[in-house]
Chains A and B, each alone.
Chain A
Amino acid sequence: DLVMTQSPLSLPVTLGQPVSISCRSSQSLVYSDGDTYLNWFQQRPGQSPRRLIYKVSNRDSGVPDRFSGSGSGTDFTLKISRVEAEDVGVYYCMQATHWPRTFGQGTKLEIK
């Protein structure tokens, strides 16, 4: 199966500061249609996961514009421009190009 590797796994951050989370795949995520199906999810404590970003860089409806996604091929990044208290939780990347779908291990964001 395709392996998704996130880093860091733990991310203590000061409110208002920017953060980046890296996600690398063991093979290219470019699908035969030319799109790259790399999604990012946020899971707040005690809640179901919520998709933030789809196809590398497209924000879902209602997602604040301080969240952005970038990358290509096998190397992807989620950035939060200014962390707010409501951003605390675990962030997962997931590839939806190949079967089976696979998730990264998760990155736990906490406030210092």
Chain B
Amino acid sequence: QVQLVQSGAEVKKPGASVKVSCKPSGYSFTSYGISWVRQAPGQGLEWMGWISPYDGNTNYAQRFQGRVTMTTDTSTSTVYMELRSLSSDDTAVYYCATSGQLDYWGQGTLVTVSS
């Protein structure tokens, strides 16, 4: 069955960067894109962007442009989301999900930004 396993919780200082990984299994890695969604404490879901493991194409939400980079490593079938210049507003659970239709979700990675 399809599973997405994400990396563990992170604590970062303001201004730092974080890189979250997502490792899908149960299907051919390059067959489907991966979307990233975040959820601040007590808030709703916010779509951040999407990457195609097939050709590396990306589509980022405007508000994250210039601050986020999504990459893939086909040798390890892993997708990464890096967010730079962190502030307290970036404290959230970050999720990866399959395709642009978000069929399956990872367990989430809590990123805490605190001085």
User: Which residues does A use to contact B, with CB under 8 Å?
Assistant: 1, 37, 39, 41, 43, 48-51, 54, 60, 90, 92, 94, 96, 99-106
Q: Report chain A residues within 8 Å CB of B100.
A: 96, 101
B residues at A contact (CB < 8 Å): 35, 37, 44-47, 49-50, 59-62, 95, 97, 100-108
Q: Is the CB of A100 within 8 A of B62?
A: yes
Contact partner of B103 (CB less than 8 A), chosen from A48, A60, A103, A105, is: A60
| Closest beta carbon of chain A to B112's beta carbon, Å | 17
Q: Which residue on A lies nearest to B100, using beta carbons?
A: A96
Q: How far is the CB of B54 from chain A (nearest CB, A)?
A: 17
- Contact pick for A100, options B45, B47, B97, CB 8 Å: B47
The distance in angstroms between the C-alpha atoms of A37 and B104, with both chains bound, is 16
| A54-B101, A99-B59, A100-B62 given; A48·B47 CB < 8 A | no
